[in-house]
Amino acid sequence: MNRRRFLRTATTGAAALALGDHFASVASSATGFTPSRDARLPRKPNLLFILTDQQRWDTLACYGNRTINAPTLNALAAQSVVFNHAFVSHPVCTPSRGTLMSGLWPHQSGVTANNIPLPSSTRCYNQLLADPDYRTGYIGKWHLGDELFAQHDFAEWIATEDEYQALFSAGRDKNAKSDYWQFLTGHGQKPDKKNGYFSRTFAVRAPIELGKPAFQATRAVDFLQRHRKDPFILQVSYLEPHTPYESPLHDLYADEDIPLCESYYKDGPDDDIPWRIRLRQMSFSRSKTFSKSPAQLADITRHYYGNISCVDRSVDTILRELERLGLADHTIVVFTSDHGDQMSAHRLWYKEVMYQESLRVPLLMRVPGVRGGARIDAPWSHIDMVPTLLGLLGADKKMISPLSGRDRSAEIQGASIPPTSVFAEWSPNDRDDDGEPGKKRRTKKDIYAANHPDLAKYVDESSRTVITPDGWRLTLSDIDKCQLFNLCDDPTEQHNLYYRVSHRDIVKRLAAEIAMWQQDTGDSLSKALKF
């Protein structure tokens, strides 16, 4: 990646059109859909919003990954506008999902850590659209409170995640089971946990036809068939490729095809690495799972890749049905993830840090009437998702203007708009909750305090990040070390420039951007950041 490429915005010229034509035949063979040059929307457009969990950006061919077996997602990318630099608002599940659903920053909605419910008074994008003609459905992981129950005006609700009953609102049935639980027991499966639930490990070890992605595809197809004559909004939210790192399709990949990330091999400790990150590195180095040899660690990545392949097959089923019903030319298809996964980068796993592997995600938008193959290089933030979806769906502008993000629907349709910086935030997420819900866990502070009592305070670190169109990433912390990276020259973020005198002017400029953003969005941490 060079500076000029990072600065480019949408490309819709002859080269992009030719690329779209080249992949059109590939796309049709994978999904049955051939993009139409003259697709029009004689009726209100439908929306199919596909969300994965913990899928980093470089897991599709359009981002350079030719190893992962994902023919449907790769074909979808060829039919779509591809966002080369899409970033989340907060690199952990619940806060990021809150932004995607509401168009609010985590500090605005109050959803600043995992398992904080999105307030019922906060309107999601389907509610902001405020069009009673639309049939609405939500299938899969929610992670924003009351997991099993229809809410926020999604009329149909198909749940897949159990054991969140301790977080249910007053009056909710704490004995309720998910639709996926009902599906498994209906197919003769017996829960593997003493409390009568199926573990997430059970789900990923089951034959692929009994896995969550296959179940979700079946229910999505049913929704499409019943509402083929109505305008609809359908969100399909997968758990995969989130942990556990096991997959029925891991045998698609050989260990020799999967090297660890370049930054895994960086020699020695770096005094410029924030303490919270170093604590995580030390924790993973002591873990029975993550302290293995590079060759053994490659097996984790095989399973991670395998679960992306499971999602791919599920999406294939849904898109083929969309085409069979004659709905493809009337349906906006969006594909993204709530955050990434370090997958060995910087000797880390999971997410929760401001490195690109956690912050940056795939983003594809297939829009009727817009030729596939265009790429947008300008930075994109998930804060723009809700206003852009509303713009594409023709919502009243008064519903869009109060939102913090920008409506970038015109950019998707070929207009050139000025690129701007994007921002991300981190607030403490103390619980070690990357495992299954319902499992008793010590807090991270307890875990780290046992070995490093003088460093445990850094678990409560908060930080704010800016990523600029010219390729800089600055992260300021309230109590920890800060980071500055030149993403054009150092895309794997191995050289922290923050403490170099030669870069103080850049730090001042970017710190001023963060301060202005905080002021504009009402961020109470605005006076606490170190600089």
DSSP collapsed to 3 states, 119-170: CCCCCCHHHHHCCCCCEEEEEECCCCCCCCCCCCCCCEEECCCCCCHHHCCC
Distance of alpha carbon 142 from the chain centroid: 13
Q: What's the whole-model pTM score?
A: 0.91
Which of the 8 DSSP states describes residue 433? -
CB-based contacts of 420, cutoff 8 Å, min separation 6 = 378, 379, 406, 469
pLDDT of residue 14: 31
- Whole-angstrom distance, CA of residue 33 vs CA of residue 483: 45
274, 480 in Cβ contact below 8 A? yes
63, 362 in Cβ contact below 8 A? yes
Nearest residue to 103 via CA among 381, 511, 415: 381
CB-based contacts of 480, cutoff 8 Å, min separation 6 = 274, 275, 276, 458, 461, 463, 530
- Whole-angstrom distance, CA of residue 385 vs CA of residue 182: 33
pLDDT of residue 119: 96
- Whole-angstrom distance, CA of residue 46 vs CA of residue 330: 6
- Whole-angstrom distance, CA of residue 20 vs CA of residue 15: 9
318, 327 in Cβ contact below 8 A? no
Structure tokens at 498: 């923050």
Kindly state the helix (H) or strand (E) to which residue 49 belongs, with its residue range. strand 46-52
pLDDT of residue 32: 54
116, 104 in Cβ contact below 8 A? no
Task: Determine how β-strand 86-87 pairs with β-strand 360-361.
Answer: antiparallel
Structure tokens at 142: 């929610």
Q: What angle do CA 174, 337, 407 make, to 5 degrees?
A: 110
b/e string for 306-318 if b means 16 or more Cβ within 10 A?
bbbbbbbbbbbbb
Distance of alpha carbon 394 from the chain centroid: 25
Structure-token match 């806060």, residue found: 95
pLDDT string in tens for the chain (531-residue length): 444 444 333 333 332 333 233 333 333 445 555 554 444 445 899 999 999 999 999 999 999 999 999 999 999 999 999 999 999 999 999 999 999 999 999 999 999 999 999 999 999 999 999 999 999 999 999 999 999 999 999 999 999 999 999 999 999 999 999 999 999 999 999 999 999 999 999 999 999 999 999 999 999 999 999 999 999 999 999 999 999 999 999 999 987 778 889 999 875 557 789 999 998 998 898 888 898 888 889 999 999 999 999 999 999 999 999 999 999 999 999 999 999 999 999 999 999 999 999 999 999 999 999 989 899 999 999 999 999 999 999 998 888 988 999 999 999 999 999 999 999 999 988 655 555 676 655 566 666 666 777 888 898 899 999 999 999 999 999 999 999 999 999 999 999 999 999 999 999 999 999 999 999 999 988 777 877
DSSP 306-318: HHHHHHHHHHHHH
CA torsion 481-487-493-498 (nearest 10°) is -30
What are the beta bridge partners of residue 139?
Answer: 158, 236
What are the beta bridge partners of residue 422?
Answer: 467
CB-based contacts of 490, cutoff 8 Å, min separation 6 = none
89, 95 in Cβ contact below 8 A? yes
**Can you list the domains of the chain with their CATH numbers?**
3-29+44-417 (3.40.720.10)
Structure-token match 């780290």, residue found: 448
Q: What is the crossing angle of helices 71-79 and 294-324, to 10°?
A: 60
Q: Measured between alpha carbons, how far is residue 334 from residues 80, 236, 237, 440, 514 in Å?
A: 9, 10, 12, 36, 29
